[in-house]
Structure 1
Amino acid sequence: MRPRVMTRLTFGAAAAAALGLLATLTPTAGAHQPSGHKPELKRIGYFTQWGIYGRDFQVQDLETSGTAAKLSHVNYAFGVIGPDGKCLMGNAPGSDPWADYVRPVDAATSVDGVGDTADQRLAGNFNELRELKAKNPGLKVMISLGGWSGSAHFSDAVRTDAGRKALVASCISTYIKGDLPVDGARGGAGAAAGVFDGVDLDWEWPGSDGAPGNVIRPEDKP
């Protein structure tokens, strides 16, 4: 988990049908607000995909530490935009399906205390996040798209209206509808349905630097 204070843009399941963007922005200081408006504060934590390895920080630790009960949102970091401008999932650079939904989690490290079976369509972190939500009604899980090493193709993806719609459609298919690449018994249409409630855009950074190789354009910010 890593603490962050920033303005975020998210879009959720309500946008699925129309492929639109529902903006939920954290109000900034001095921003205009309707009379009597009281913004609802969110408590958001990041769960890093790779933390299950060297750090040995499992989704179960969010529950046993009491952290999940204190959060309104968990951002799963990170989803990747591929060279085609769409959400990337499966055996491709920047993606780790083993951690996401293939790896069997045993009973000792599972949120619900039940180990994954060989014929489950969903295992790994995604299934553990589903179990975490079941234990914490009201907790929302977002896929955090981009990050330091996954933002190279943001600029290419969003520079046109058609590109933006293609990106949104692919994210909805992969994360909201839960259509995952088949990997043995894992994955398939709807395998991860109900895990993610929306998408957190973590573009690092529009129009300015970022990781080596990132595509940068002056019009990125607008």
Structure 2
Amino acid sequence: MDDDGSRLTRWENRSEGPLFLLSLIFLSAYAAHVLDPGLPQAGHDALLSVIGATWACFAVDYVVRLRLSGGRFGPHYVAHHLLETVVLVLPLLRPLRAVHIYQVVQRRHEQPRLSLYGRVIAYAGMAALLLGFSGALAVYQQERYAPGATIRTFGDSVWWACETLTTVGYGDVTPVTAAGRWIAAFLMLMGLALLGAVTGSFSSWLYQAFAREGELPPGR
């Protein structure tokens, strides 16, 4: 009989692909629900049903991973499975696990993975695009009908998300609702983290490149 570790690995290998497709369905359904307010009520109800059903699949996957890992839910489990917990609470970020899918495929075919620097850059780029699009959708949903709102169109929301993620913050469009400001705070933190990761990785790569060329002493 396989131990829990091998059973968990098998489950991850088999479930990552279908769950990634479900995450794209979730994101598409949510985008259609937010961006097409003129859709008949039956259409919105259908989209909300799709959103709920896909989220239920993510919840089932989380519970299965918890059981197969042999642990109990708590701060220790959350700390060691932070990404899985985040994408369960914020399903719009589920496509971020595409990086893990790439690693699973590479292991299955015994192919070399990208270098650490390549993975950091790829992950940060994907995360920035996904966070920007998801944040723009969420803020647009909260702000478009709010009294005194400056974010009235999805274009305004995308522009605001770009300003926020890059920490520029012109202030020409800003959220006025409590929910919109919470989303803004989250995007600010994520933007700082992504910029730090990319800058640190690129600096480390440059240092190693110069060290290999003899311009810097290695190991310092």
Q: Calculate the TM-score normalised by the size of structure 1.
A: 0.24
The answer to which structure has the higher strand fraction is 1
Q: Which structure: larger Rg?
A: 2
More helix, by proportion? 2
Query: Under a length normalisation based on structure 2, what TM-score does the superposition of the two structures give?
Result: 0.24
The structure, 1 or 2, with the larger RCO (C-alpha pairs under 8 Å, 6+ apart) is 1
